[in-house]
Amino acid sequence: VPAGLDAVVTIDPTRKTRFNRMIFGQFLEHFHRQVYGGAFEPGSPLSDRAGFRLDVVQALRELRIPIVRWPGGCFVSAYHWMDGVGPKRTPAFNKPWGVEDPNTFGTDEFVQWCRLIGCEPYICTNAGTGGFEEMSNWVEYCNLREQGSFSRLRRANGHPNPFDVRYWSIGNENYFPTEIGSKTTAEWGMLVRESAKLMRAVDSKLILLAAATVDSEWTAPLLKVAGGFLNYISIHGYWDALWEQGTKPASYMQCMMRSRQPEGQIEKAIKVIADNGFAGKIKIAFDEWNLRSWHHPGFPGGGADRVDLIGMRDENDQNATYTMADALFSASFLNGCLRHADVVEMACMAPVINVRGPLFVHPKGVVKRTTFHVMQMYSDLLQPHVVATHIAAAPLASDGASVPQIDAITTVSDDGGKMAIAIINRHPTQGARLRIAGVGGRQGRLDILDGDSPDAFNDVARPSRVTPRQITADVSKGTVMVTPHSLSILSLTI
């Protein structure tokens, strides 16, 4: 990097890929206060007559979310969808999470909620304690117009038209021997294949995913037996290992040092797919991702200890832990997906509401956390095609690890006349000057998310401490300045 500069960005507009907006997807699980006390709160003055929180709906509409995955997560590995449809709901004790679910929010409500927020519904099935017939009956309930007892049940429940749910995943993390509903590698391929056959026998147009890892030990046997039936593999990642170990949330710099790890996972997944002969045929859905680890207060054997260790009543609700580190980690994740847009065609931030999600919901309103603004900036400001972007940047080092201080990804419009470059400056205290080859002589606009500190966060008391702002960017000399600990989207007319 030449003296006086912190990074040089070189763009190759000839290498261009239209990316799939489903990488801006989200996840809603029956876990903590995501559904009850989050999306759904009958009786709240903020809810409609059906019980949907309208302030939540309005905020999520602003994100223009393309797809939401539901109902789990681990929750689904012992969930029976029939408990959650029709006028008489059966509360059930959910064994993975050790809490009773009232089942008042089920398939009908999920589909209705997706319509309210304007997204595609994506259902993850019970491949744990459930079987392929239960999965296929669920498809029948949702998608079959007239024939079949489950389609008749849907109509009797007041839904004459099929829900037309296109995206279905077989299972959730069934590769973890400690999770309820785990399977062996040999069992998994067979179960996925037979489930896919039975589900497609009801609706041949389904788009199918299956729980997978980025390692060949689990995923090679899966692809060998069932690869021909799959459109995507579903992979997951959480990176704040310190929190997972029950100590404390990782610091800003620890988070930055982890911020390239998701892309490493993506590259491994691409390799597993290619090594097994499915390059170009099977795509990646990173359908649970987040920096922060998770904690369910009701988690059997885990709750009390975790609360004591962290010294908080409920760590998930501590808005102070979701800072600019989360924002820049999330932007790094999205840049990683965009760089591999030919294979990564879906990603679901986990979760969308409460826990460590972008929208914090409380009885009197909502707080848009830092990551909410990142998701909105990417959703609104990027152009539809990613172009190859090379970055030479100074390193940022901490505790023996190192990442480039700057990351950037370039997008262009269909006709190439508009460009938007998402630039991340990971440095906690120093701004950066970038040269962007080929953009000289122009005026642009910078949308900036930085906050007053790397540890800045939004909370009920100060909901707008971190919000995006806009300035005019003078790129006439081919360089641009970005602020410390920031995400900046530079928009230009070419």
Q: How many residues bind ligand AHR (CB under 6 A)?
A: 11
Write down the least CB distance from residue 295 to ligand AHR, Å.
Answer: 9
Return the number of the residue (206 or 211) whose C-beta is nearest ligand AHR.
211
Write down the least CB distance from residue 124 to ligand AHR, Å.
Answer: 9
Query: Given the structure tokens 């972008």, which residue do they identify?
Result: 358
Applying CB under 6 A, which part among 68-76, 216-224, 433-441, 466-474 lies near ligand AHR? Answer: 68-76
Q: Taking CB under 6 A as the rule, does residue 73 contact ligand AHR? A: yes
Return the number of the residue (46 or 180) whose C-beta is nearest ligand AHR.
180
Q: Taking CB under 6 A as the rule, does residue 350 contact ligand AHR? A: yes
Residues 93-132 that bind ligand AHR (CB under 6 A): none
Q: Taking CB under 6 A as the rule, does residue 29 contact ligand AHR? A: yes
Q: Which two tokens stand for residue 355?
A: 């826990």
CB closest to ligand AHR, residue no: 73
Write down the least CB distance from residue 471 to ligand AHR, Å.
Answer: 37
Distance, CA of 177 to CA of 46 (rounded, Å): 42
Distance, CA of 300 to CA of 317 (rounded, Å): 19
Return the number of the residue (208 or 353) whose C-beta is nearest ligand AHR.
353
Q: Taking CB under 6 A as the rule, does residue 294 contact ligand AHR? A: yes
Q: Which two tokens stand for residue 211?
A: 């729980």
Write down the least CB distance from residue 244 to ligand AHR, Å.
Answer: 10
Return the number of the residue (287 or 407) whose C-beta is nearest ligand AHR.
287
Specify the 3-state DSSP secondary structure of 180.
coil
Write down the least CB distance from residue 35 to ligand AHR, Å.
Answer: 13
Residues 143-172 that bind ligand AHR (CB under 6 A): 172
Write down the least CB distance from residue 336 to ligand AHR, Å.
Answer: 20
Applying CB under 6 A, which part among 69-77, 202-210, 221-229, 392-400 lies near ligand AHR? Answer: 69-77
Write down the least CB distance from residue 265 to ligand AHR, Å.
Answer: 14
Q: Taking CB under 6 A as the rule, does residue 71 contact ligand AHR? A: no
Return the number of the residue (163 or 175) whose C-beta is nearest ligand AHR.
175
Q: Taking CB under 6 A as the rule, does residue 134 contact ligand AHR? A: no
Q: At what angle do helices 107-117 and 132-143 cross, to 10 degrees?
A: 50
Specify the 3-state DSSP secondary structure of 73.
coil
The runs of H, that is alpha helices, within 276-323 are: 303-310
Distance, CA of 430 to CA of 280 (rounded, Å): 41
Q: Taking CB under 6 A as the rule, does residue 74 contact ligand AHR? A: yes
Return the number of the residue (101 or 140) whose C-beta is nearest ligand AHR.
101
Q: Which long-range contacts (CB under 8 A, 24 or more apart) does 247-254 make?
A: 247/309, 248/310, 249/292, 249/321, 250/325, 251/325, 252/323, 252/324, 252/325, 252/428, 252/454, 252/455, 252/485, 253/398, 253/399, 253/428, 254/398, 254/399
CB 36 within 8 A of CB 84: no
In sign, the C-alpha dihedral spanning 61, 282, 292, 485 is negative
Q: Which of 109, 131, 87 minimizes the C-alpha distance to 30?
A: 109
CB 362 within 8 A of CB 40: no
Q: Taking CB under 6 A as the rule, does residue 72 contact ligand AHR? A: yes
Q: Taking CB under 6 A as the rule, does residue 173 contact ligand AHR? A: yes
Residues 207-266 that bind ligand AHR (CB under 6 A): 236
Applying CB under 6 A, which part among 66-74, 268-276, 408-416, 452-460 lies near ligand AHR? Answer: 66-74
Distance, CA of 481 to CA of 467 (rounded, Å): 19
Distance, CA of 280 to CA of 290 (rounded, Å): 26
Distance, CA of 313 to CA of 441 (rounded, Å): 55
Return the number of the residue (235 or 422) whose C-beta is nearest ligand AHR.
235
Return the number of the residue (27 or 163) whose C-beta is nearest ligand AHR.
27
Q: Taking CB under 6 A as the rule, does residue 288 contact ligand AHR? A: yes
Q: Taking CB under 6 A as the rule, does residue 310 contact ligand AHR? A: no
Distance, CA of 363 to CA of 379 (rounded, Å): 28
CB 195 within 8 A of CB 170: yes
Applying CB under 6 A, which part among 51-59, 70-78, 198-206, 474-482 lies near ligand AHR? Answer: 70-78
Using CB under 6 A as the criterion, which residues of the chain lie in contact with ligand AHR when the complex forms? 29, 31, 72-74, 172-173, 236, 288, 294, 350
